[in-house]
Structure 1
């Protein structure tokens, strides 16, 4: 299976002098095409920093990150932005939407920047995605007129507009109630089944249990890993127990 991301001995520090802190301490990681990966760890363990590094949002102080066969350090900010827009999908705990635009316009905005000629085609794809995630009727709503779960679904639509090779999610269910979180994870599972790789940062064992490989971080290092078989709907409780047991073993 081809590797979509290779991170070698990644180092990231914050602060200077006596206040310098190493947040990523020589982290090495590989993600294959079509994989469903979770990263878990306590606050300050470096899990979100790792996601920002792998997606090119933040630079690193040491090591190497290769995405889709290309060393990210070879690109400037504009080129990195283009890579994220065309080959990656990014989903955060609180979707960043413009209040001046409705749901549909927020979804299509990144896809039509600098090229409004394709707006009809882009809008058609957005409507297809809205239907897929179950909120087709909300396309003309303002962002303040939908629930948190509905807004996160819109964020997923926006992330899928470019048919990305990988989706990065930083606590994408963290602000949702349990029902909405379960529904969002159902959508992620469907996306992954279609062949898109997904990497989720989460503190929730129920979320991690829906993935197939879980990386555990402490003090800026990946200290353990748990592999799970493809999800069978009837075995979720056993999987949650397995994840929870591993968290206790690791000390999370």
Structure 2
């Protein structure tokens, strides 16, 4: 499969000279177009830092991140913002939405920066996404009037407004109960099957088992790369748990 993202010897340090903390140590990674990859590991191992590095949301200390042939570290902030808005989608543990806007308006808001689309087109697309994610009746509600699972569905709608090549999801089920978590993951699997790549950070083996490939991180490094696309759900869980035991994570 053709690669969408290639990360080469990515390093990321935090702190001032002489007191640096290494978050990523010369990580090499590739992600194919349409692939669903989960990243697991203990707290502080570099999972979210890797996601932010690969999406251009954070600068790297050294190395290179190439997105569909484009070296992200060579782009200006405006150019990076354009790529993130038009070709990437982001889902976080807690969707950040404005309290004074409806669910529908919150979904549309980030896409308003794209001058190629008018508000009517954006509203039409947002309403179609609300229907697709099973919350068509909630568009006019305030964010305080919906459940956590419904709000996360709205966040997914917002992430899809630019028809992204990839969704970056950082613990998207971390604040949800088991039922809502399962529903969100089923929705992400459906989106992936329609052709959108997904890079998902999680601590939950059940969530990771939905992916085709699981990367296990430890101490800022990728300690293992497990491909499970051809495995059953039960077999995936067994392989994940065995790998976590072996790596002591």
Q: 1:114 to 1:198 in 2, by over 3 A?
A: closer
Cross-structure match for 1:95: 95
Cross-structure match for 1:51: 51
1:94-153: CA deviation from partner (whole Å, max 9, x where unpaired): 001111111000001111126396111110111010001100000001111111100000
Give the 3-state SS of the residue equivalent to 2:187 in structure 1: helix
Output the CA distance in 2 between the equivalents of 1:183 and 1:240. Answer: 18
Output the CA distance in 2 between the equivalents of 1:117 and 1:50. Answer: 32
Output the CA distance in 2 between the equivalents of 1:194 and 1:243. Answer: 25
Give the 3-state SS of the residue equivalent to 2:118 in structure 1: helix
Q: 1:186 to 1:114 in 2, by over 3 A?
A: closer
Aligned pairs for 1:140-219 within 5 A: 140-219=140-219
Cross-structure match for 1:125: 125
Q: Tell me the CA shift for residue 230 of structure 1.
A: 4.8
Give the 3-state SS of the residue equivalent to 2:34 in structure 1: coil
TM-score, normalised by the number of residues in structure 2:
0.97
Output the CA distance in 2 between the equivalents of 1:17 and 1:103. Answer: 44
Output the CA distance in 2 between the equivalents of 1:82 and 1:172. Answer: 23
Output the CA distance in 2 between the equivalents of 1:225 and 1:73. Answer: 25
Output the CA distance in 2 between the equivalents of 1:209 and 1:24. Answer: 24
Output the CA distance in 2 between the equivalents of 1:117 and 1:217. Answer: 40
- Is 1:38 the counterpart of 2:38? The answer is yes
Which shifted more, 8-17 or 108-117? Answer: 108-117
Give the 3-state SS of the residue equivalent to 1:80 in structure 2: helix
Q: Tell me the CA shift for residue 86 of structure 1.
A: 0.1
Match of 2:241 among 231, 235, 244: 244
Q: Which 4+ residue blocks in structure 1 deviate beyond 4 angstroms?
A: none
Q: Tell me the CA shift for residue 58 of structure 1.
A: 0.3
Cross-structure match for 1:139: 139
Q: Tell me the CA shift for residue 18 of structure 1.
A: 4.2
Give the 3-state SS of the residue equivalent to 1:19 in structure 2: coil
TM-score, normalised by the number of residues in structure 1:
0.96
Output the CA distance in 2 between the equivalents of 1:237 and 1:87. Answer: 34
Which shifted more, 108-117 or 119-128? Answer: 108-117
Q: 1:116 to 1:162 in 2, by over 3 A?
A: closer
How many pairs does the alignment contain?
Answer: 249
Output the CA distance in 2 between the equivalents of 1:76 and 1:117. Answer: 23
Cross-structure match for 1:16: 16
Output the CA distance in 2 between the equivalents of 1:167 and 1:179. Answer: 22
Unaligned ranges ≥5, structure 1: none
Output the CA distance in 1 between the equivalents of 2:56 and 2:220. Answer: 18
